[in-house]
A and B are shown apart, each in its own frame.
Chain A
Amino acid sequence: MKLTMASSPHNHSQKSLSKMMLSVIAACIPGFIAQVIFFGTGVIIQLVLALICVSVFEAIIMVLRKRSIFAALSDGSAWLTGVLLALSIPPLAPWWVIVIGSFFAIVMVKQLYGGLGFNLFNPAMAAYVLLLVSFPVQMTAWMPVTELLSQPTTLAQQLSIIFHNFTSTGFSLEQMRTTVDGMTMATPLDTIKTDIAHGLTVTESMQKPIFGEWAGLGWVWVNLGFLLGGVYLLKSKIINWHIPISMLVSLALCSAIGYVANPGTEPGIIFHLFSGATMLGAFFIATDPVSASTTNKGRLIYGAIIGLLIYLIRTFGGYPDALAFSVLLLNMAVPLIDYYTQPRTYGHGEVK
């Protein structure tokens, strides 16, 4: 019986990559359930599609790179990318949207840069931006919440739309999106933007049926779901508080300033915080460790600028939501931020 040599430390905290990734996926569950409730079972179909696609693409690349498929898949990072992508695209988008998105995220953004840990950009968000820019119609075709639909959709019909563009009864997605009063619905953020451009005030716009008491109907609950998941992540110390808090505070601050300056065309703090992908972004996307800043000071700056950019693009930009663009822009700035925010090492510089 021989002695074994090993390098210290001889103990480990038993944290592991796959546990972390699976926890993040688990934390998506509340938001996911809210999305299913309000936007139908299409979300589930997209999720299953995404998981299959990312697994297949990851496996193919691993074969090409002559690495272990099991090791790559078991770390769970590809699945997390798939989950995030599935949660951010419209539930009834055609099937090829998620396939292209998964391909771009896994193959181009992640593996071609060297695999997990080497990608400069958040794969899910880069794929989202690619899809948004290339297929604007499909990517903005969000269904209104189910209760506003002229006819309830079944799982079979949704499958049919995703794979054949039409339901078995011959309705297209456009027709499905039409509400009881015959109006085509966009997302709340989109609606507000269009209405303000048309000269309506926020209060007038908010009268529309897709808005609830504070913000978009259903969207509030989806955001609350992700907030709940985010709190779990913070509590289990899987993510640090710096990025989500600074991002939310920055977004709230900007919208507060905007509201004070121009109450007529500004929907206000609550609307911004609980619309679109705010909470998903704050807790699940901006905190992606690979592409985010790694110093505590840097994280505060990173989060704060994302919050600012989200507000600026939502208010002044051409797109209704801005999370993906803001995150990608800041991904590019990470090396710079990290370089200038190195913590003071013990025994260096000013000691108080």
Chain B
Amino acid sequence: MEKLLEQIKHGTVWPFPGGVHPPQQKSQSNSEKITRLPLPDKLVVPLKQHIGAHGKLIVDKGDYVQKGQALTSPTANWSVPVHAPTSGTILEIAPSPSAHPSALPELSVIIKPDGKDTWCQRQQVSNIKTIDHDELINIIHQAGISGMGGAGFPTYVKANTDKKIDFFIVNAVECEPYITADDVLMREHAVEVVQGIEIMQQLLQPTLCIVGIEDNKPQAISAMQKAAEHNEHIIIQSVPTVYPSGGEKQLIKLLTNQEVPSGGIPADIGVLVHNTGTLFAIQQAVYEGKPLIERVVTVTGNTIHKPGNVWALLGTEIKHLLDCQGFSPVPQQRVVMGGPMMGFTLPTVRIGVVKTTNCILAPDHNELAEPGDEKACIRCSACADACPVSLLPQQMQWFAKSKEYEKLQEHNLFDCIECGACSYVCPSEIPLVQYYRVAKVEIKEQQADKIKADRAKERFDARKERLEREQAERQNRHKRKPTTKSADEKQKVADALARVKPKSDKDGEKSAVAAAIARAKAKKQQGEQLEPDNSDVAKERAIRKQQARQYKEEKESQGSSESTDDKKSAVAAAIARAKAKKAAQQNSAESQDENTDSAPVDDKKAAVAAAIARAKAKKAAQQNSTESQDENTDSSPADDKKAAVAAAIARAKEKKRQKEGNNPS
């Protein structure tokens, strides 16, 4: 340990294997100061912008909120609140496309700014030595701070670790090309960042704090060195420019020569890593009382007229950022949130900036080439040479394609950090990372399915046991009656069943099915047919599946934003499906009966149907009357119920009519 400290203070770094050197492209955006954007027309603030559950909503549609006012309050499970980025009125609280590769909708608060930008009450701390650990953690928690580098892990959870931390590492590497948000933040606010570091030092009491900055940011390095001069426990370490040295695990290896065990977290080896932006946010929360409502975002790319860094309120739509910086899109424009190596393309520019948005990249086709066609892997293992975690991407690619997930896991798929170095160097342009991502999701799904299957089995067994027990109990009860002979008993039950059956035969189909079952049973008894005949069921199922598929396709073709329509159409489709199913059954039953005279059957059916409808109506009426007697005080629910029942009957009747209409007479 002593020796390690000595080496670190001496400026030693321990390179990790692999890595690539994509063109830096940082000079476009880091020459100007950070600018502040005009207030946008509306802000879309998703409730969940971090890893963990979202908090409980504490505002309502139409409420007036002040700048910095909390919109949610944290509950359990790592939840972190979100705040109003400016003062204004809440237009709506609705799902809207999220800042995630899938853009699946996320519940968001949509605020219309009033232009006044009035702050809520703020509590500022002037001397952090005066407040204790728990209070500091609470400030950080209530300020809604989560990791601003990429993953979005709640900061208060990290800061509140009960493990002994030796090294507190500040990730100021920013190894992704194009992004300069942390670079300019350190140039302009080094003092605040160092104050943030000191807050963390007070919380964690680490032996040493190391700030890792890539050597392509000399101005940031000197600014930080100047700001941290007074604190001998902070070391500003310049690290060689290689992608992905900003990966948490790579940085730990680089700065301390330690490796986080697979599946573990840095705290397991006494290391904690925070991003520069996060530390600035901590400083703002503690000293200024400002919750996390804005961040620095790099807006860059060849299609942007004024590439640079901006202070963007969380919830500012990407469109606003692009418009303010000047944007002339090219055909098949890509808009990437994040950097070119790990960022994801956005399907719409109507997505709000979130806590983890560090860059908006709008490249043209010359600077970042479109991916070409995938060609055959020649096992050149350029990918393995580039892999920063020493995986064998080319082997894994074969397994991923052939869905050999066990082998993939043996090859440590889950240690893949999805940095994209392998895809970047692949001469065959194989989208390796894409394969691994899909495989990861499918493996996780399989594991979840396995757990679910086990539980289903358990429940099925429990149910079977219960049914057997109940049956045994019934038999015991009967045994206690010595007068009844078992044969008589059976006869009686059979008679009862025979009486009950016609009643429940609401249309001919049941009797047909019953007949089929009876036939099957008879056959089985004769020993002719050992396998059950499930062809009818299979047919029905095929129809159902077909409809499910159609439904899915329909849904996919529709826009995701029209959720209410979706719902409606889903219900409609379901109803249509159910009807079609019944019709199909009816037809099949029909075809079975076709040999016999069909007209009498129809008559009979109609009669039966009418009888059943009558019986049901009567039953329902009775039911209603008893209920309304019971619930004299509260009549409206009963009315509802009545209406529902009436509707159900009407539907049943309608169904019958339709069927009769369908019947070939």
Contacts and interface: CB of A to CB of B under 8 A. Distances in A.
Interface of A: 1-17, 19-20, 71, 75, 77, 115-118, 240, 289-290, 292, 294-296, 338, 342-348, 351
B394 interface: yes
B379 interface: yes
A1 B389 CA distance: 40
Contacts, number: 168
19 contacts: A1-B331, A4-B345, A4-B370, A7-B431, A7-B437, A8-B336, A8-B423, A9-B340, A9-B341, A10-B343, A10-B368, A15-B382, A116-B378, A117-B376, A289-B381, A294-B384, A338-B395, A346-B389, A347-B260
Given A16-B427, A343-B390, A347-B249, A8 B369 contact: no
B16 A9 contact: no
Contacts of A118: 376
B378 A117 contact: yes
A300 to B, nearest CB: 13
Interface stretch (B64-72, B211-219, B346-354): B346-354
A20 B380 contact: yes
A75 B345 contact: no
A289 B381 CA distance: 8
4 nearest A-B residue pairs (beta carbon): A9-B420, A117-B376, A347-B262, A346-B389
Contacts of B342: 8-9
Nearest to A115: B376
Contacts of A19: 427
Contact of A3 (B263, B264, B346, B361): B346
A347 B331 CA distance: 44
A11 B394 contact: no
Nearest to B346: A3
A3 B22 contact: no
A2 B332 contact: yes
Given A5-B347, A116-B376, A346-B16, A11 B368 contact: yes
A44 B591 CA distance: 78
Given A3-B345, A11-B341, A348 B429 contact: no
A343 B260 CA distance: 17
A118 B398 CA distance: 11
B392 A12 contact: no
Given A3-B334, A11-B341, A348 B427 contact: no
Given A8-B344, A289-B379, A294-B392, A13 B384 contact: no
Contacts of A17: 375-376, 378, 427-428
Interface in B4-35: 16-17, 20, 22-23
B378 A342 contact: no
A289 B378 contact: yes
Contacts of B412: 345, 348
B588 interface: no
Given A294-B381, A343-B392, 6 more contacts: A12-B371, A13-B22, A17-B428, A346-B249, A346-B262, A347-B249
A4 B333 contact: yes
B340 A10 contact: yes
Nearest to B386: A13
Nearest to B382: A15
A129 to B, nearest CB: 21
A240 B386 CA distance: 13
A17 B378 CA distance: 9
Nearest to B427: A15
Given A2-B332, A347-B264, A117 B377 contact: yes
A10 B259 contact: no
A232 to B, nearest CB: 17
Which residue, B22, B363, B378, B392, has most C-beta atoms of chain A within 10 A?
B378
B183 interface: no
A7 B424 contact: no
Contact of B424 (A13, A116, A347, A348): A13
Contacts of B427: 15-17, 19-20
B258 interface: yes
B388 interface: yes
A116 B347 CA distance: 36
A25 to B, nearest CB: 15
Contacts of A71: 373, 375
A4 B342 CA distance: 16
Contacts of A13: 20, 22, 424-425
B261 interface: yes
A10 to B, nearest CB: 5
Given A5-B345, A10-B340, A346-B389, A351 B259 contact: yes
Contacts of A342: 392, 411
Contacts of B372: 12, 16
A118 B261 CA distance: 35
A10 B425 CA distance: 12
Contacts of A346: 16, 249, 253, 259-260, 262, 388-390, 415
A188 to B, nearest CB: 34
A8 B378 contact: no
Contact of B340 (A11, A14, A348, A351): A11
A32 B36 CA distance: 64
Nearest to B434: A7
Given A8-B420, A10-B363, A13-B424, A294 B379 contact: yes
A186 B5 CA distance: 67
A134 B630 CA distance: 101
